[in-house]
Structure formats: C-alpha cells, structure tokens
Structure 1
Amino acid sequence: MEHLISKYLINDLTREEEVKLKSWLEEDALNRKVFENIVADWKLSADEILTSKSAVLDRIVNSATPSHELPKERSLGAFDYLIRVAAVMVLGIGLYLVWDATNSAETSHVATQEVQIEKEAANGQKLTFELSDGTIVKLNSGSMLSYPKVFSESKREVTLVGEAFFDVARDESRPFKIKSGEVNVQVLGTSFNVRSYPDAEQIEVAVKTGSVSVESSFSESDVVLVPDEMVVYTTGSNFFDKKRIEDSQQVFGWMDQALIFEDRGIKDIIKELSRWYDVKFEIKRELDYKKAFTARYKNPTLKAVLESLSYAYDFEYEIDGKKVIIK
C-alpha cells in the first residue's frame, strides 16, 4: 500500500486508486493511524506502539506485490523512479515515527519518575496523602515531604523535614527509605513515626507495627526497631538511644489532636505551639528556661494552653492575631 500513499503525497492518485486507498483506510482503524502517522506526523500512543508496531511494519511491507506474482518487466521511467523514491521515503518516515514514539514513551516514563513533588504542612496544618505505591503519609505542622511522582522499579526514597507518620505499603523487592537530617530509615512494610525538625537537637523514630532499620549518615551501623520501640538520635553525636515506648499517645497522639508535654522546657514548648497554632511569640520578660512542664491536652485552643502555662511560669499574655506577647 506504500505506493498509493507515495502517490497521495505527490497528489497523483487516479480515481480508482483513491477508492482503493479509501477502502484500505476504512478496513482497519490501525491502517488509518499508520497513514496519519506518515502524512501528518501523527504519533501512536505508547501502549498501541508496544502492542502493534510489528503488525504495522508487516502490513506496510506485505501490502506490496505478493511474492508469488512476478512483476512485469518494463523500463524504469523518471515518474516511476520518483514514486519508488517516495515509497522508500514513506517507509523510512513511518519506521522513524514508530521508533520515535516508542522512544518518547520510554523517555516520558523515566521523566515521570524524576519529577519531584513537595507536600508541605504549614504551621497550624496537618496533611494526609497517599504516595504512588499506596503508602499513606500523615504530615505534622511545619513539616515537608519530598518524593518522586512515581517510584522507580528498584527503590522508593523520600526526604522528610519535620514530623510524619508513615504507613508503608509492603514491597519486599523495593525497600522504603526515608532521609531525614542525619538519619536514614529503611523499611519493607510497616507503620512508624519520624520526628526530625531542623531546629531540634534530637531525631526520634518510633515503630507502631512491623520493623524499621535506622542508621546515621555518618556510620554504616544500624539500629533495628520492632513495635513499641523507639530510638532517639542526638544530632552530631552519631549516638542512638534505643528504648521502649511506655506511652504511645506521647509519640503518636498528635495524629488525634493530642498535645502532650512531658517534662518539657518552655523554650521547646514555645516552638511546638508556634507550629501547632501558626503563631509567633514575642517574649518581653524573663522566663525560667530550666523549669520542666508536664501537661496533656485534647484538641485544645491556644488560649487554654497559654492559661496553664501562665500559671506555671508566672507570666501574663496577649493574643494579637497570629502573635502571642508574653509580658
């Protein structure tokens, strides 16, 4: 059929040939796509190319004179030569476009894996979303997760700043790896919490289900955690303090709007409140930074927390929009 397409390109089809070409185009939707691909640079989709490019090439080649019919010998005139050259060009263009579309589809798949997405839970917010592999992520206030739009076939890697809870979809062929500050966390399928704020001196990893491997960026040695275990890493020390989780609410409670302070200093508490309520503090008086504070709240208002803190640390406060003045 390539000789008819060649004649179509040079506008030299007879009425009979036009009917024959039209019949071939209407015979199969794939025929029309091949035709359009050649004459109008129309590209097949990736799936169609992968499943039918062999059939396309066979149809183009086999549409020539059948092998058992010997062509009549005749001299090759200038017009016939032009048609044959055009046919070769058409076949070459068709093969190139099929190759180009296939190559473009493969490039597109790789490019999709390289696209990085950043999800951020601003101060005062919490986010829950799903990754391409089915992993569920819950971001705490003031946190950000960077991850590829589509994970590769060999690995799943994300980068965390702040705090997040992961419920990882199990895939033994592709471990799930989290890079967070000076700590790397690797799992196959489990649920756990990572707390790693840039302004904090410690990074915490706590396991709810399954098992987790935690290692420092400065060492190849790792710590393996099982359910109800956690590890506290002091930045810059390359030291892991592994311990049992005595109070799961203290670690995982933030997902249920539980605000818990256990022997915390006012400096850390102010940082936590700044993220939780998206406010900034202006301190106009001296505070006892060595004094520890313990309290539990369930979905509290900022005013309720400040009331109890004001009694404990003996200060007055004023809430002015997104600013808290301690005086």
Structure 2
Amino acid sequence: MNQAAIRQQMLLYYAGELLPAQQQALLESLQLVSTEELEVLYPYSEWVEIKGAVFPTEKIEVALQKHRQLRPVTANQPVRIRQLPAFRWQFRVACAAAILVVSTLLFTRTMDKSKDTAPAALTVSYKTVQVNNGKKIRINLPDGSVITAGGGTTLRIPEVFTDLQREVFLDEGEVFFDVHRDTAKPFIVHTGNLDVKVLGTSFSVRDYKEEATGTVSVRTGKVAVSNPTQKESTVYLLPGHRTKLDKAARRFHQSQMDTTSAFGWLEGVYVFRGATLQEITEQLKHGYPVNFEVRNSVLLTKRFSATFRKNSIVEIMEQLQLMGKLRYTINNNTVIIQ
C-alpha cells in the first residue's frame, strides 16, 4: 500500500468507514513505514489535536470533519455538528481509540529519536592517587579543599566536581580533609564501609581493608557518618569526637578523643594510650616503610602508653622493647617481634 493509499485509508479510518479487515490491513501497513514516512502520513501536531479531542462527542465530530476536508479547523470556522446515534458514536469512539494506538507508535518513535540526539550527560573523570607506606602527600582539590593522604592510601578524586555535590572515593587508607565550605554542594567521602557527608569542616577518615574498624575523627565543624548498607544508622559528630565502625557487627561506637592522638600522624607524632601492640603496629606500618611480623601472638594484646615525636623506627622499637619485655630484629624492611 503506497503513501497516498495509506493516507486515504486513514481518512476513512477517522470517519469510521473501514471494515474490521480493512482496519487490520491499515494497521499492518503503518507498522512497516519508517518514522519519516509516518510523520508525513500522520503529523505529530494532528496526533496532539486528535488526542485532546476524543471527548466530548462534539469534538470527535469536529476532528473527523477536519480530517475529511484535509484542512485544520479554526475557531472562526463554522462547523456543522449533528447528534450521532448511540451505536454510531460508540463505533467512532472505538475508531478514535484504535488510531491512538498508531499515534502512540509515532510518539514513541519521536521520543526515542530525540533521546538518540540528546546531548550526553557530563561524565566525571577520576584520577587515582596511591601513597606508599612511610609517605604522605598533600593534594589541592578543584573546589579549594585540601587533603593529606597517609601511607598505604588509595584514593580516587575528580578532575572537576559536578554542580550538585563533591565526591571522592577512598578505596583504603587514611586521609585528612580540610573542606572548603559550600552549602550548595555537599562534600562526600565514600569508602567501602563508610559514607561521610559535610558542608565545610576538617576531619579524618581511616579505613584500611585489613583492619576490623573504620574510623572518622572530627577536628572542626559537623560531620554526618553512615554505613552504605544502613543509611538509617547515621551518626553526627562534633569537634573532638570520633566514631568507629565495627565492620563485622555493622555498629558505630562514638567517643571523645585526644586530638593529638587522632591527628598527630600529620606531623609525624604518634600518641598511644593503652593501645595494644596490634593497634600500634597497624599504625606504624603505614607511617614507616616497614612491615611487622609478630611471631608470638600473645604479644598482640599487650598494651602500651607512649608518645613518639618524629622518632625513627629503631628508636620506637627500642622503647617498646624496654617497656614490654619483648625482643625485636629488623631484617631488610621487616620488623620481627618475638
């Protein structure tokens, strides 16, 4: 069926003068035409007018009259309106409803085509920063915020922030954030276990994969902390407070803190107050380019209190040896404790 024949059949369709078999043949023909051909046969503007003219009955008659004459009906054009018998009105309503199926096909094709030509959404590019144990690096972010990443850290930061929010991803490690305040664009840090949201403040996040806890400590401002799998358990922290997430139990434990103990690593200062040997070695192995091997597991729970200010690893181990009745040796970059 060529375009002229299809158009003529459509006009008869509008008028309710096609038999069921002819209606089916018309619909099958319309399924085969392209989007461009369908637009010529049945312009989108006509679809809008017909769609809005299904009810009441008088408007159906006006729409049908318009298509029979192949010209639009204007507000000033006189239109003869006659009352249709009930069965005739129902038949024409059915025809109008059927043609809307065809019209929907055009509308869907048009929308799909517009999606294909719409500009692509802005894709944020991230760069990965990796810091070796025993090192620290300082990074200036695009918004004016400054971060300091400690040893053993892997961090993904955007080259530019979006208009809605500022996001960074801490795959693992310890990072101190000094966030430039912007109430319109929250600053969010994602780790595998923590989501930290602020507007403008300074805080640190520690989350190493091998450690049983993830920690957020606040120096200034207010911080919201949640677990990605339990958003309802959000906790809010003020300056001088920290929260530790027990990764196994998925529970937060909040407490006040010694700020020197929490942020001393930024200046090479390590403060331990009743810390176990396991906690001490976890802290030191990222602050110094060494690994630890504890051959007597009983020693891991032994507690120490000490402050080390920019001491060498040898000086630290000598002090721990005197305090804890333990022996150590250093083989290449491995500290062996027994």
Where does residue 226 of structure 2 map in the other structure? 215
Residues 134-178 of structure 1 show CA distances to partners (whole Å, capped at 9, x for unaligned) of 110011111121111111111211111111110111111110111
Residues 258-303 of structure 1 show CA distances to partners (whole Å, capped at 9, x for unaligned) of 0122222222222322222111234455642222111111011111
- Comparing 315-324 with 168-177, which one deviates more in the overlay? 315-324
Where does residue 161 of structure 2 map in the other structure? 151
1:296 corresponds to which of 298, 301, 307:
307
- Comparing 135-144 with 269-278, which one deviates more in the overlay? 269-278
Distance 1:226 1:110, change over 3 A: same
SS of the residue corresponding to residue 227 of structure 1 reads: coil
Rounded Cα–Cα distance in structure 2 between residues aligned with 1:224 and 1:183: 13
1:230-309 alignment runs, 5 A limit? 230-245=242-257, 247-285=258-296, 287-309=298-320
TM-score normalised by L of structure 2: 0.60
Where does residue 170 of structure 1 map in the other structure? 181
SS of the residue corresponding to residue 278 of structure 2 reads: helix
2:195 corresponds to which of 184, 187, 191:
184
Residues 219-254 of structure 1 show CA distances to partners (whole Å, capped at 9, x for unaligned) of 122111122222121113232222222x11011111
Pairwise CA distance, 1:127 = 0.9
SS of the residue corresponding to residue 253 of structure 1 reads: helix
1:1-327 alignment runs, 5 A limit? 110-111=122-123, 114-160=124-170, 161-221=172-232, 222-245=234-257, 247-285=258-296, 287-327=298-338
Task: Judge conservation of contact 1:178–1:185 (CA < 8 Å) in 2.
Answer: yes
Pairwise CA distance, 1:189 = 0.7
SS of the residue corresponding to residue 305 of structure 1 reads: helix
Task: Judge conservation of contact 1:266–1:292 (CA < 8 Å) in 2.
Answer: yes
Task: Judge conservation of contact 1:187–1:212 (CA < 8 Å) in 2.
Answer: yes
SS of the residue corresponding to residue 273 of structure 1 reads: helix
Task: Judge conservation of contact 1:186–1:212 (CA < 8 Å) in 2.
Answer: yes
Rounded Cα–Cα distance in structure 1 between residues aligned with 2:273 and 2:212: 17
Q: Which runs of 5+ in 1 are unaligned?
A: 1-102
Pairwise CA distance, 1:181 = 2.4
SS of the residue corresponding to residue 288 of structure 1 reads: helix
Matched to 2:239, the amino acid is: P
Flag as ranges the 4+ runs of structure 1 deviating above 3 A: 282-287
Matched to 1:312, the amino acid is: M
Task: Judge conservation of contact 1:287–1:313 (CA < 8 Å) in 2.
Answer: no
SS of the residue corresponding to residue 208 of structure 1 reads: strand
Question: Max radius of gyration: which structure?
Answer: 2
